[in-house]
Amino acid sequence: MTSVKEQAAISRLLSFLQEWDNAGKGLRAQILTKFIETNEGKTGPELELEFSQGASLFLIRLTTWLRIIYMTGLDLEKILRSIGIFLSAVSSNRYLIEFLEIGGVLTLLEILGLEKIKEEDKKESIKLLQIIANTGRKYKELICESYGVRAIAEFLAKSKSEETQEEVQVLLDTLVHGNPKYQNQVYKGLIALLPCGSPKAQQLALQTLRTAQSIIGATHPSIVDYVLKVLDTMHLEVQYEAIELIKDLIHYDVRLPLLKGLVALLIPPVKETSRLQAKIFTDPSLLQISTQLPVFLKQAAAAKTIGILARGDLKLAEELLHMRVVHSLMTAMGNTDHSNSQRLASLTLEFFVQMFPLVEEHVRKSMGEELYQLFLVSISIPSSLSSCPGRNRSPCAQNEASLLTPPPTHTLSSCPLPALAK
């Protein structure tokens, strides 16, 4: 037989549940507000004590109400926060299982794709997915099996709130750890995010890709093209993350195509530059944005990246010499339409001139003495470099002559710009 105290507790629970069942939308919102204020942070046993061992009866009502109204967005944040109190409570695995059994994961993922739902509500949905993913491997697999990676990645690309996007990154990072069955799916989803129009999403995707790459160990064939395309960004924080990822990728099997791709970006295709020129003649407003043409942004970023990579690894610098990087850098220096390309290409060429004697010879002959002296002044290189103790005279450098076929000597009136001058 139950005691008087237990009977009173059960009576309070039944009265509370009856109040919820009979309440309209306004009263239910008040009940949820009070529930959140009084129960946030409680453990599973404490919630059971609060509800006289009948907390699951209220949870099932919350999840049922969620499935009824989630498409309208009405009081959705309060419902999700209330469910979060149950799912995040210590020693509350039974609540999680009850929530999942009625299709809780699918509901949360559907919320992310609904246009009518507010950003704050979707953020709460992400937080619940984080709780589920952090519970263990089988729960991460459940999210992925429910086409969760695609839904989460698409939401990251469309979200307008940086705070929310950071929460999504936390979730994707969780899904890539301890999830061997689906880690490749997450990895591919991150790569697919790179062309999106949100700079913050690109930045976060690049950061998470570095983690995913180290976990997976193998590269996807498309990653080179996707990462190189990101270099046309005007956002330095995105460019920084792209360069950091490139620094990691050169240690994998995509090293050669990655380096070749960077060198190729130094000389934009004639089609791209001629198309811009045609548009400028017909649309004068484009004159204002010509300095931010994507191919020129990529050209400048490529020159910067090559300089960073070469300074960090002399062997890699020698590999770049075999790819005619000096000729390509000189071409980039001649791009009078984009001063940043000229500046960054000059700084990178400076390194090769300082480190490789035959590069100095090649550059001097290609530019002509007068232009070469101006180049030295602009980058503050001493006019006599032959005595520099740090200059490289490796066997590879000795064979530079066969790799550096100098173009005709240029004077001050003719910049070395064969590709862009056409």
Q: What is the pLDDT of residue 374?
A: 76
Q: For the segment 100-156, what is each residue's pLDDT rounded down to a tens digit?
A: 999 999 999 999 999 989 999 999 999 999 999 999 999 999 999 999 999 999 999
Exposure class string for 208-218: b at 16+ Cβ within 10 A, else e: bbbebbeebee
Tokens at 163, concatenated: 């705070």
pLDDT band for position 216 (50/70/90)? very high
- pLDDT above 90 as % of the chain: 69
Tokens at 408, concatenated: 């005709």
Kindly state whether residue 9 falls inside one of the protein's structural domains.
Answer: no
Q: Per the structure, how many domains does the chain have? A: 1
Kindly state whether residue 326 falls inside one of the protein's structural domains.
Answer: yes
Kindly state whether residue 128 falls inside one of the protein's structural domains.
Answer: no
Burial of 36 (0-12, 13-18, 19+ CB in 10 A): middle
Kindly state whether residue 283 falls inside one of the protein's structural domains.
Answer: yes
Kindly state whether residue 228 falls inside one of the protein's structural domains.
Answer: no
Q: Does an H or E element contain 98, and which?
A: helix 93-101
291, 343 Cβ separation under 8 angstroms: no
320, 359 Cβ separation under 8 angstroms: no
Q: For the segment 174-189, what is each residue's pLDDT rounded down to a tens digit?
A: 999 999 999 999 999 9
**Whole-prediction pTM:** 0.84
Q: What is the dihedral of CA 178, 179, 185, 191, to 10 degrees?
A: -10
Asked if residue 92 has pLDDT above 90, the reply is no
Q: What is the pLDDT of residue 172?
A: 98
Range of the domain at 269: 264-422
Kindly state whether residue 31 falls inside one of the protein's structural domains.
Answer: no
Tokens at 299, concatenated: 């050209």
Q: For the segment 154-171, what is each residue's pLDDT rounded down to a tens digit?
A: 999 999 999 999 999 999
How does DSSP classify residue 131? H
When the pLDDT of each residue in the chain is averaged and rounded to a whole number, the result is 86
Kindly state whether residue 224 falls inside one of the protein's structural domains.
Answer: no
Q: What is the pLDDT of residue 291?
A: 46
